[in-house]
Structure 1
Amino acid sequence: MLRVLIADDHELIRRGVSDVIESHPGWEVCGEASDGKQALDLALSERPDVVILDISLPTMNGLGVARRLRQDLPTASVLLYTMHDEQETISGGLAAGARGYVLKTDSAHNLEAAISSLGARRPYFSSTISEFLLDAAVNDRKKSRLESFTMRELEVAQLIAEGNSNKQIARKLARSIKTVESHRAAAMRKAGVRSAAEFVRFAIKQNLIEA
């Protein structure tokens, strides 16, 4: 039995993906999550074969979840299922450990093919993503800014963009304010910004949060 976890903050999307999975013999939905933290917790407890993630998730974005799963649950194959087809977002997703990338504008057949491939431990990319990868390989792709963020910097980055103060971030991550300040400075330096307002614009552009 191929066990699949779905994480998306839109119930209609989760329902549609679930219908595709449940209609396929030998597949089952082992859990659904509406935010990144819930997705990570469910994945670590349920240990699915495939995790379907949106990128713009509350509490912890899909790239952060993918990185944690690559470290803590390497047996799970991550499929990014999203509207975002920007080059830096694609690069960041693949660098985070995603084995598949499908756009929500693709057909249900693409989603089914992706789940099947990842279930067999093979990567899968829709045609748009495949074209990007080919172009990147030919033109020696420049590393995206997101790829240089550590997992902790990525977490702090999302919390900054969501309007949290250093004190609030320290409390949520159970870290000292001094440590948070260090991660915040590193994240802003890597993003190439100097103010929180600029950082919010960067986070929106990189799809860490929704506008």
Structure 2
Amino acid sequence: MLRVLIADDHEIVRKGVREVIEAHPGWEVCGEASDGQEALDMALREKPNVIVLDVSLPTLNGVALTRRLKRELPTANVLLFTMHDDDETVSGGLAAGARGYILKTDSGRQLEAAISALGANRPYFSAFVSELLLDAALNERKRSRLESFTVRELEVAQLISEGKSNKQIARLLGISIKTVESHRAGAMRKAGVRSAAEFVRFAIKHNLIQP
């Protein structure tokens, strides 16, 4: 039985993905999550074979979540299923460890093919993403800024952008305020910004949060 976990903050998207999975013999949905932290907790508990993620997830975005899953649940293959088709998001997601990347504009048949491929430990990319990868292979790939962030910096960056204070972030992540300040400084330096407002613009541009 191929066990699949779905993580998307839109119920209608989760429902559509579930219908594709349940129509396929031998596949089952082992869980649904509406934010990144819930998805991580559920994945560690349920140990799915394939995890279908959106990039723009609340609490813990898809890129940071993919990195955590790669480290903490290496047996699971991550499929990024998103509307974001820019070079930086694609390269950031793949560098984080995603084994598949397809767009929400792709057909249900492609989603099924992607899940099937990842279930067999093969990568799968939509035609658009494959073209980006080919172009990157032929030309020197520009490194996504997100690749230089640590997982903790990505987590702190997202929470800053969502308007959380250092104290709130420390409580949510179970770390000290001083540690939050250190990660905050590192994230802002790597983003090339000096103010919280600039950081929010950076976060929106790189799909850490939704505008």
TM class by smaller structure? over 0.9
> Equivalents in 1 of 2:23, 2:171: separation in Å?
43
SS at match of 2:32: strand
Aligned to 1:119: 119
| Partner in structure 2 of residue 5 of structure 1 | 5
* CA-to-aligned-CA distance 1:112-144 (integer Å, 9 cap, x gap): 000000000000000000000000111110111
What is the letter of the counterpart of residue 68 of structure 1? R
For structure 2, list consecutive stretches of 5 or more residues without a partner in the other structure: none
Matched residue SS, 2:28: strand
* Residues in 2 aligned to 1:182 and 1:9: alpha-carbon distance in whole angstroms: 30
Which residue in the other structure is 2:135 paired with?
135
The equivalent residue for 1:155 is 155
Residues 94-122 of structure 1 deviation map (CA, whole Å, 9 limit, x = unaligned)? 01110000000001111000000000000
What amino acid is aligned across from residue 157 of structure 2 in structure 1?
A
Letter in 1 for 2:136: A
**What is the correspondence of 1:171-190 to structure 2 with a 5 Å cutoff?**
171-190=171-190
Letter in 2 for 1:193: V
Residue 20 of structure 1 aligns to a residue whose secondary structure is helix
CA distance in 2, matches of 1:176, 1:40: 22
* Residues 1:29 and 2:37 are matched in the alignment: no
User: Which amino acid is 2:67 matched to?
Assistant: R
Q: TM-score, normalised by structure 2?
A: 0.99
Query: Which residue identity lines up with residue 133 of structure 1 in the other structure?
Result: L
Distance 1:47 1:179 in 2: 31
Matched, 1:38 2:35: no
> SS of the residue aligned with 2:156?
helix
User: Which whole-Å CA distance do the structure 1 matches of 2:178 and 2:38 have between them?
Assistant: 27
Identity %: 76
- What's the offset of the Cα at 1:177? 1.1
Aligned residue in 1 for 2:49? 49
Aligned partner letter, 2:197: A
| SS of equivalent to 2:81 | strand
Does 2:164 correspond to 1:164?
yes
**Structure 1 letter corresponding to 2:178:** K
Post-superposition CA distance 1:63-96 (Å, at most 9, x none): 1111111000000000000000011000110011
RMSD of equivalent CA atoms: 0.6
Cα shift at 1:173: 1.0
Unaligned segments of structure 1, at least 5 residues: none
The answer for the alignment partner of 1:209 in structure 2 is 209
Equivalent residue number for residue 69 of structure 1? 69
Q: Measure, in 2, the Cα distance between the counterparts of 1:44 and 1:173.
A: 17
Letter of the aligned partner of 1:5 in structure 2? L
Cα distance in 2, alignment partners of residues 128 and 13 from structure 1: 21
Q: Which amino acid aligns with 1:189?
A: R
Name the stretch that deviates more: 61-70 or 74-83: 61-70
